[in-house]
Amino acid sequence: MNISVTAERPENDKVVVTITVPAAEVDNYVNQAYKSIARRYQFQGFRRGRAPRPVIDGIVGREAILADATNDLLNDAQPIMLDELDLVPVERPDFGEDPSLVVEHEDYVVTATVTVPPEVELDSYDAVAINMPPQEATEAEIDLQIEQLLAYQVSYEDVEDEDRTAEVGDIITVDIANKEGAEDLAGKNRTMALNADSLPQELVDGIVGMKKGEVKEVTWSRSHMHGDHEHVHNYDVEVTLNAIKVAVKPELDDELAKKSFGFDTVEELRDAVKEEIEEDKQRSLPNLKEDRVVEELGKRASEVEVPEAYENQVFQELANEFLTSLQRQGMSLDMYLGARQIDTNDFLADLHAQAAERARQGLALDALAKAKGFVATAEDVLQEFVKAGVENVEASMEEFRNDGRISAIRESIRRSKAVKWLVENAEVTEVDEVAERRAAADAEETDSEDAE
């Protein structure tokens, strides 16, 4: 299809495009519309596909034919328009509520409004500064990994002190009888960690302070929105605290290293853990560096208000990615939320927050790519399809072009070049983050003990 397009970008992130279709193209679409109607319907006295125009006009109506031709023309013109102007629309292009119909033997001129992501200005286009873990395994990282290994060797013994009350973080065994709304929590002699990661916070609060053998009724409510209506779910359980258990960690020595992990000495175990950590870092650190430089760049657009339409578009992308990931694991969204005791509204709110941040980072990458002059060449686009491993590169590219999606490929390429530049030019400070977190946790624990 041969068309010409011109565009201007107002300040409200809407591109006004004028499309001009030559008269010869218009006539082709009108002819195709007549042929389509002739093949689609049986007109009395004529073989299918052979009805002349006057007959079709008299029965179907000429205006209806021109409306079909106009609709087909606009559908075909839309991806060409997006490709030629290199636009990635946030919403479907708007040709108005009632665009004018084509007229045979005349050029067709129509205006479309395309909503696109906003262009932003960054505080700086210089390289970013980030912290990164060192490539070599640190002693703190090795210690943490070994502690996690030892956690599998932990045993739990009943606390003998009859006056000892349950505390947050304890391992407990309980009987939970469901009285209302808590079927999933009910059970006899259940062993569980007393924390809000595995139990509702209200139930944790109710059990804290109980003694062994004590029986207590715990009730709470949760509200959630269903459409415009608020629904309240009531919970009522009877809890019997059977036991409070304390974790007993084994002492790591050569004997345990050999018996449990297959190494003759603790030193050999530490060397193996060190090697494993460093192999993992070879795989994970490049992605971590990309994430951190993009996150840091996004902060330079922190004051940007992401348009709702663009945020919704990114939200849909995130949601599809998440649902696809769950499907690979054989889980539904309801199963995921139920297993983690996550309210649907809280989940959606968090996903919207993530979408807003990703959108802001995308806009920041667009701004950097423009400032640095990064472009997506035809060869770049071709290589994207080659790298994707599609069976027929040319056919796949043509499909994307016909769907108006080539511009999105170009946008992705420009952003990738911006990320590559950030990674190559970032000012990196190596930090033993595990050691820092452990030191901060120790200091917090010391402060808490002093306060008591």
DSSP 8-state secondary structure symbol assigned to residue 90 = S
Cα torsion angle, 197, 199, 202, 204, sign: negative
Q: How far is CA 85 from CA 15, 77, 179, 406, in A?
A: 10, 12, 64, 11
CB atoms near residue 116 (< 10 Å): 20
Q: pTM score, two decimals?
A: 0.79
**Contact in structure between 437 and 144 (CB atoms under 8 Å):** no
- Separate counts of helices (H) and strands (E) for the chain: 14, 10
The encoded tokens of residue 91 equal 């919403």
- E strands within 9-66? 14-21
Pairing of strands 129-132, 187-193: unpaired
- In the block, tokens 């407990």 appear at 172
Q: What is the pLDDT along the chain (452 residues), one digit of tens a residue?
A: 888 999 887 667 899 999 999 999 999 999 999 999 998 888 888 888 888 999 989 999 999 999 999 999 999 999 999 999 999 999 999 998 889 999 999 999 999 999 999 989 998 999 999 999 999 999 999 999 999 999 888 888 888 888 899 998 889 999 999 999 888 889 999 998 888 777 888 999 999 999 999 999 999 988 766 656 777 889 999 999 999 988 888 899 999 999 999 999 999 999 999 999 999 999 999 999 999 999 999 999 988 888 999 999 999 999 999 999 999 999 999 888 887 778 888 899 999 999 999 999 999 999 999 999 999 999 999 999 999 999 999 999 999 999 999 999 999 999 999 999 999 999 999 999 999 999 998 887 776 666 65
User: Structural domains in the chain?
Assistant: 4-115 (3.30.70.1050), 155-248 (3.10.50.40), 265-451 (1.10.3120)
| CA 300 to chain CA centroid, nearest Å | 21
**Contact in structure between 85 and 73 (CB atoms under 8 Å):** no
